[in-house]
Amino acid sequence: MAIAEEPTGHVMGHAMKRKEDPRFITGQGRYLDDIVLPRMLYMAIVHSPYAHARIKSIDASAALQLPGVHLVLTGADLDQMGLGWMPTMAGDREMTLAVGKVLYQYQEVAVVLAESRALAEDAAQLVEVEYEPLPVIVDPFESMKPDAPVLREDREQKDNHVFHWEVGDRTATEQLLRSCDVVVRQKVRFQRIHPAPLEPCGCIADFNKATGRLTLYMTSQAPHAHRTVFSMVTGIPEQNIHIISPDVGGGFGNKVPIYPGYVAAIVASLKLGRPVKWVETRTENLTETAFARDYHMEAELGATKDGVVQALKVKTIADHGAFDAAADPSKFPAGLFSICTGSYDFPNAFAEVDAFYTNKTPGGIAYRCSFRVTEASYLIERTMDVLADELGMDPAELRLKNFVPPEKFPYHSALGWTYDSGRYAETLKKALERFDYTKRRQEQDERRRKGELVGIGLSTFTEVVGAGPSQTFDIMGIKMFDSAEIRVHPTGSAIVRAGTRHQGQGHETTWAQIVGEELGLDPQNILVEEGDTDTAPYGLGTYASRSTPTAGAAIAMAARRIREKAQKIAAYLLEVSEEDLEWRDQKFQVRGVPSKAVTMQEIAFAAYTNLPEGMEPGLEATYYYDPPNLTFPNGAYLCQVSIDKGTGEVKVEKFLAVDDCGNVINPMIVEGQIHGGLTEGFAIAFMQEIVYDEDGNHLATNFSDYLVPTAWEAPDWETDRTVTPSPHHPIGAKGVGESPNVGSPAAFVNAVIDALSPLGIRHIDMPLTREKIWRALREHGIEE
Amino acid sequence: MFPAPFEYVSAHSLDEALEVLESRAGEAKVLAGGQSLIPMMRFRLAQPQVLVDINPIKLLEDLHEQDDALHIGALARHATLEFSPLIQQRYPLIADVSRVVADPTVRNLGTLVGSLCHADPAGDFGSAALAAGAEVIITSSRQHRSLPVDAFFLDTFSTALEEDEIVTEVRWPKPKPRSAGAYLKIERKVGDFAIVGTAVQMALDEGGRIAEAGIGLCAVGPISLRAKQAERLLVGQSPSAELFQEVARQAARESDPTSDTRGSKEYKQDMVRVLTLRALQRAYQRIQAA
Amino acid sequence: MAVSSTQVSVHVKINGQEITKECEVRTLLAYFLREQLGLTGVHVGCDTTSCGACTVLLDGKTAIKSCTVFAPQVDGHELLTVEGLGEADHLHPIQQAFWDCHALQCGYCTPGMELAVLALLQRNPNPTDEEIRFGLSGNLCRCTGYKNIVKAVHQAAEIMNHPSTSQSVTL
Ligand SMILES: Cc1cc2nc3c(=O)[nH]c(=O)nc-3n(C[C@H](O)[C@H](O)[C@H](O)COP(=O)(O)OP(=O)(O)OC[C@H]3O[C@@H](n4cnc5c(N)ncnc54)[C@H](O)[C@@H]3O)c2cc1C
Ligand code: FES
Ligand code: FES
């Protein structure tokens, strides 16, 4: 019998190497496409070449004649089964396969099932579809016009308006704005982008006619929620759906929604009684699965003449594409966009969002973002710089003047949030010092005098993550709690299961560290398992930086339940009363007598071998954690850039990120998350956009047009942190995975605009391509 | 994404390859590095019925100087050029291109000759070969011939090659005394085709005047372009900042880009100016440094 | 006359083992390795030869993108995939360094990245930061931001250059 080693002390807060890594570094990870089942068929999709067209006919006969082709399914076939449409998380519905017409280019029109991938593609080429093109709308400002063609003929409402949402006091905000000394207005667009994890989406649907069970291997960030939805959509009883989300090669929100490909694969497996594999091509990933952002925002910010902010009014037009497939909590059609007052103490604010349909891919998902928080942070951080420019004030000074002060926490924001904790000035001051801000500003002056274009940008964002408290947060009615189950084995090792599903975040390590810390067990002997709906307790999954705030808390609470029982066993083993014991140095010891102690390992053994009379054997607990509030991580990011006057090329000369995500479970992992998110933020600021031409042609259909930075383009990152624990979280932690992606775009853009500010330039929309900067330079008479 | 079915021939000698190309003319395609052809086949933009794999023909890996030229065999990989001491020391123009064409892994298979045969106006080597005045050596079962690279590019993705012909090598003029070249490219990221690229090759006479000049432009026209009038402005003149600026402006006028996701026509044209100026300066500095 | 065919038998020495397999000629090497030989450490992340997740080593030294090579092209050659680099109880210094330096998150890019590192270090045993970033620019990673990968390459180089003196610390 292998006996677990005694732990050496605290494990929280340590840079423990990741337990999941040995399999990944040796190529032994098991991702979706690595799984092969007997008699498995492959599915290929027939896509629409048009952005808007009526389907006049579909002829699959040539495809079906190819030997090895088993089935072609169209929207009409699915419609007959009641599956032509499926609900979206946002309360809209979307076509599974095109029914009657297509609403965006690359929309799924039919699927082909064949013996091999190549054969399925051969056959897909042979499916003849006749289209009648219809007028195309790619711009929400066109879509909102009263005479615009109605895209969604299936709706009762005969226009293209999806929803109106507003929050705050419009009248008071407008009044206050009128009386402000200074009011700045800025239009800011957050372009359409895509999460594009390196592993695309896919599934293997394996319906067993004999057992009536559907086993679905699926690249899923939220397997339980998906099980419930599949059960509701297909009518298969929930106990008969088993979802396994194997190793996931990155998600970033891409693997939260349910896509037509999954449903089509399930239907095909039901029909054929054989396993069906569908793995997206990169083109399918970029053109069919949900995009993020696409917000056209306008801010009006009022302040006193010495720079104290007074009121913020925001109007946003959202482009949701052909269906509202946003992955937001049900009561939040614009996500948590109302965090747009950021880190600043606004007495009054008002925000509204109007969403419209266009002939583009549906979506509006939270790409590395807690539901529209990235848009909000970018807007406020950009607008604060516009105000600083208007006032001729240093942007750092303006921010320090307006931060919510520490004594105001818990802070009730004008738009309804209760911020848990933060020491914003301290975080910024630390960043300024480490960045050598004053000296760099002096150097900037000198270099400017020599004719160089140099800029320094800041972003001091506040995020809201960890959805969420059950009174307000649900997805399709399911409350957004999360869960954990811990079983301690007789030898003092344990298994932990959670309702979350990591995709690189390191849960197999950090969850073990939490349990190790709470129970005094060696995290090396704690196995973490996620992603199997038959074994894990029900949870809502991993996205929106919610895992640590919810499941992390559930794990700590479950461990504490175990400790309560352990204390009783310890009292019995030490022959003292429970009250005489204290949990100290990760043991139960008799108060004042350190030599009289038992370890959790000894207690675990006793829980199965030597129990007080009448006590239920075993040592395990389950906890469903309903968070009392969200958590509010913050950060101060500083960026320095220089610009090539000839080509418009921007060089990031230095970037520092100081984050505050409360107590840190594993600093190495947190740092890694920051590096990754900053690199994505960099890509968004400078390189990435899903562009459509006026005919609705998607112009970023693969990695040669949707640009992912390599090690060569990615800047070097410096990181640091302050620690302001969340007062309501059991271990004082906040979410962090998304902060760098939320906070950094504004820092990059602010730095570039700062470099251009001597020319009187106040704003350029992302991505800041060389050409946009070149254009700005030439318009202002700057040439090489 | 998988190519449509095809037949595959592994050619172990040139004769073997030529034989198949002749007997299956119009249906067969040569497979060199495959780094352009296979991606096209995966998207089914190319659907050859026969692939003639020339990779086993070791003779074609040749890279050596002989007589008045550098002989670059059809299987000389981009990476071979990138890491060749001979290239690094004597052929700065090739060395520059070999560091920015595609990405380091693609360069391990992709070939200079394949790049020219592909005739993508955004191919970096096309403009460099024009600037240098390279010669293309062509063979088939019927005949051997050679063409100056100027006469080789006919249109986008189209060359003077007949269906049964193979390019066996490219001959790149040996460096003259007091000569150097430079290639500059702006791309959106590593592995991207050029927004614009400019290749310059020049030689000075004993008196320090420009005796010969070549300027090739990448991704600013239906084919790789030579800025002939700009070249003419250089010849016979003494290098100077003003001259280079004038020549750069002329090169921009000779370019004929179209607007696309990489940039507008105006931007690309101005980048021809900026890059030509910088490439001229760099080539001249290299001559001075030598 | 050379023989043309649509079905071929491919003979390769893969991770030290000689193997012969039949396949359709249009089989891309990445899928040949994954599906015919079960070497699922070879990953596929794109269709445009952009990502490098499929990188393997040809003839011991050349990193290639196995999604852009047909299986019959490697007939008679040698290949190294991540499965042949090292195993959990006997890690290659590159694998060890990736682990030590937290140079991976989701792990999807990792096998290809490690082989690109091996090719890089064989060519340049002491690369600078800049040379590492340049040399690995055929491989995309969506998770790590590359900084820790650069760090890992330095550690691996150190250990590979001084195999006896340095030992990595396992926490
Ligand atoms: C991700 C990626 C990025 C790239 N970026 C760039 C870039 O920035 N700049 C750039 O210039 N290129 C780029 N390329 C293309 C790369 O340089 C190719 O290697 C090159 O264009 C073609 O060379 P090849 O040997 O691979 O040719 P192949 O793909 O084998 O062949 C290309 C064409 O030429 C024909 N052909 C090849 N050799 C011969 C011959 N000897 N005789 C007759 N016909 C022949 C083939 O039949 C085919 O039609 C990129 C490629 C990839 C995959
Ligand atoms: S799979 Fe992306 S380069 Fe091979
Ligand atoms: S670790 Fe996820 S792509 Fe690199």
Instruction: Spell out the residues 6+ positions from residue A258 whose beta carbon is closer than 8 angstroms to its own.
Output: A86, A226, A229, A230, A233
Q: Are residues C71 and C14 in the same domain?
A: yes
User: pLDDT, tens digit, for every residue of A613-644?
Assistant: 999 999 999 999 999 999 999 999 999 999 99
pLDDT of residue A67: 97
Q: Which of these three, C55, C84, C113, is where a domain ends?
A: C84
pLDDT over 90 at A8, yes or no: no
Query: To test ligand 3's pocket by mutation, which of A20, A23, A25, A198 has the most ligand atoms within 8 angstroms of CB?
Result: A198
pLDDT of residue C3: 62
What is the CATH number that goes with domain B7-53?
Answer: 3.30.43.10
Is A298 part of the annotated catalytic residue set? no
CATH architecture label of B179-289: 2-Layer Sandwich (3.30)
pLDDT of residue A72: 98
User: pLDDT, tens digit, for every residue of A217-250?
Assistant: 999 999 999 999 999 989 999 999 999 999 999 9
C149 touches chain A (CB under 8 A): yes
Is A561 part of the annotated catalytic residue set? no
pLDDT of residue A743: 97
Q: All domains of chain A, ordered by start, with CATH?
A: 21-29+482-625 (3.30.365.10), 32-134+200-248+255-288 (3.90.1170.50), 291-411+424-466+629-779 (3.30.365.10)
Cβ-contact A280, A201 below 8 angstroms? yes
Instruction: State the ipTM, two decimals.
Output: 0.97
Q: Do residue B261 and residue A699 have CB atoms under 8 angstroms apart?
A: yes
Instruction: Spell out the residues 6+ positions from residue B285 whose beta carbon is closer than 8 angstroms to its own.
Output: none
Query: To test ligand 1's pocket by mutation, which of B117, B130, B141, B224 has the most ligand atoms within 8 angstroms of CB?
Result: B117
Q: Where are the alpha helices (DSSP H) in A336-403?
A: 373-391, 395-402
What distance in angstroms lies between residue C53's CA and the mean position of ligand 3's atoms?
9
Is A738 part of the annotated catalytic residue set? yes
**Ligand 3 close to Cβ of residue C104 (< 6 A):** yes
Q: How far is Cα B285 from Cα A339, in angstroms, rounded to an integer? A: 55
Beta-ladder partners of A485: A497, A622
Q: Which of these three, C47, C66, C84, is where a domain ends?
A: C84
Is A221 part of the annotated catalytic residue set? yes
Show the CA angle centred on residue A628, arms to residues A622 and A631, nearest 5°: 105
Q: Are residues C80 and C107 in the same domain?
A: no
Q: Which of these three, C66, C84, C102, is where a domain ends?
A: C84
Q: Are residues C27 and C58 in the same domain?
A: yes
Select from B155, B121, B123 the least CA-distant residue to B224.
Answer: B121
Report the CATH number that the domain containing residue C98 is assigned in CATH. Answer: 1.10.150.120
Cβ-contact A320, A357 below 8 angstroms? yes
Cβ-contact A97, A60 below 8 angstroms? no
Q: Do residue C26 and residue B105 have CB atoms under 8 angstroms apart?
A: no
Q: Tell me whether residue C134 is in a domain.
A: yes
Q: Which residues of chain A have a CB within 8 Å of the CB of C33? A: none
A687 touches chain B (CB under 8 A): yes
Q: Do residue A712 and residue B190 have CB atoms under 8 angstroms apart?
A: yes
pLDDT over 60 at C140, yes or no: yes
Residue C62: strand, helix, or coil: strand
pLDDT of residue C145: 98
Q: Are residues C17 and C78 in the same domain?
A: yes
C58, C75, C123: residue with CB nearest B10 = C75
pLDDT over 90 at C165, yes or no: no
Q: Are residues C57 and C106 in the same domain?
A: no
> Ligand 2 pocket: which residues have CB below 6 Å?
C 44-46, 49-54, 65, 67
Beta-ladder partners of A640: A456, A654
pLDDT over 80 at A377, yes or no: yes
Q: Name the pLDDT band for C2 (thresholds 50, 70, 90).
A: low
Q: Name the pLDDT band for A362 (thresholds 50, 70, 90).
A: very high
Q: Whole-number mean pLDDT of chain C?
A: 94
Q: Do residue C48 and residue A703 have CB atoms under 8 angstroms apart?
A: yes
Instruction: Spell out the residues 6+ positions from residue B279 whose beta carbon is closer than 8 angstroms to its own.
Output: B182, B183, B184, B198, B199, B200
Tokens of A647: 């080509």
What CATH class does B60-173 carry?
alpha beta
The residue with tokens 């309360």 is A91
Task: State how far residue B203 is from chain C, nearest Cα, in angstroms.
Answer: 31
A115 touches chain C (CB under 8 A): no
Report the CATH number that the domain containing residue C17 is assigned in CATH. Answer: 3.10.20.30
* A342 dihedral zone (left: phi>0; alpha: psi -120 to 50; beta): left
pLDDT > 70 in chain C, percent: 94
A31, A118, A711: residue with CB nearest C26 = A118
What distance in angstroms lies between residue A108's CA and the mean position of ligand 3's atoms?
28
Which residues of chain B fall below pLDDT 50? Answer: none
**Which whole number is the average pLDDT over A408-432?**
98
**Ligand 1 close to Cβ of residue B166 (< 6 A):** yes
Tell me which residue has its CA closest to atom 15 in ligand 1: B36
Beta-ladder partners of B8: B51, C5
pLDDT over 50 at A685, yes or no: yes
Q: Tell me whether residue C1 is in a domain.
A: no
Domain enclosing residue C143, as ranges: 93-165
Q: Name the pLDDT band for A5 (thresholds 50, 70, 90).
A: very low
Cβ-contact C18, A673 below 8 angstroms? no
DSSP B102-117: S-HHHHTT-BHHHHHH
**Which whole number is the average pLDDT over C141-163?**
97
pTM: 0.97
Which one of A180, A369, A639, A661 is the catalytic residue? A369
Which chains share 3+ C-beta pairs under 8 angstroms with B? A, C
pLDDT of residue C1: 46
Instruction: Spell out the residues 6+ positions from residue B131 whose beta carbon is closer than 8 angstroms to its own.
Output: B93, B181, B199, B200, B201, B214, B215, B216, B226
Q: Name the pLDDT band for A1 (thresholds 50, 70, 90).
A: very low
Pairing of strands A634-643, A650-660: antiparallel
**Which whole number is the average pLDDT over A151-162?**
97
pLDDT of residue A533: 97
C142 touches chain A (CB under 8 A): yes
User: pLDDT, tens digit, for every residue of A294-344?
Assistant: 999 999 999 999 999 999 999 999 999 999 999 889 899 999 999 999 999
Q: Whole-number mean pLDDT of chain A?
A: 96
The structural domains of chain B, with segments of one domain joined by +, span: 7-53, 60-173, 179-289
Select from A150, C3, C132, A239 the least CA-distant residue to B8.
Answer: C3
Instruction: Spell out the residues 6+ positions from residue A690 whose beta carbon is closer than 8 angstroms to its own.
Output: A191, A192, A193, A194, A286, A291, A361, A698, A699, A700, A706
**Which whole number is the average pLDDT over A49-60?**
98
Q: Name the pLDDT band for A9 (thresholds 50, 70, 90).
A: confident
Q: Are residues C79 and C135 in the same domain?
A: no
Q: Which residues of chain B have a CB within 8 Å of the CB of A704? A: 191-193
State the Cα torsion A676-A678-A681-A687 to the nearest 10°.
-80
pLDDT of residue C5: 78
User: pLDDT, tens digit, for every residue of C53-107?
Assistant: 999 999 999 999 999 999 999 999 999 999 999 999 999 999 999 999 999 999 9
What distance in angstroms lies between residue C29's CA and the mean position of ligand 3's atoms?
22
Into how many domains does chain C fold? Answer: 2
pLDDT of residue C6: 84
Query: To test ligand 3's pocket by mutation, which of C43, C46, C82, C144 has the most ligand atoms within 8 angstroms of CB?
Result: C144
A709 touches chain B (CB under 8 A): yes
pLDDT over 80 at C170, yes or no: no
C29 touches chain A (CB under 8 A): no
Q: Do residue A771 and residue B186 have CB atoms under 8 angstroms apart?
A: no
Task: State how far residue A370 is from chain C, nearest Cα, in angstroms.
Answer: 18
User: pLDDT, tens digit, for every residue of C32-63?
Assistant: 999 999 999 999 999 999 999 999 999 999 99
Q: Name the pLDDT band for A4 (thresholds 50, 70, 90).
A: very low
Q: Are residues C114 and C157 in the same domain?
A: yes
Interface of B with C in 17-56 (CB under 8 A): 17, 19-20, 23, 31, 34-35, 38-39, 42-43, 50-51, 53, 55
Q: Do residue B106 and residue C49 have CB atoms under 8 angstroms apart?
A: yes
User: pLDDT, tens digit, for every residue of A455-487?
Assistant: 999 999 999 999 989 989 998 889 999 999 999
Q: Name the pLDDT band for A593 (thresholds 50, 70, 90).
A: very high
B189, B264, B274: residue with CB nearest A784 = B274
C26 touches chain A (CB under 8 A): yes
Residue B257: strand, helix, or coil: coil
A117, A687, A775: residue with CB nearest B189 = A687
pLDDT over 90 at C163, yes or no: no
Output the CA–CA distances (angstroms, integers) from residue C158 to A506, C94, C110, in the order listed: 27, 10, 20
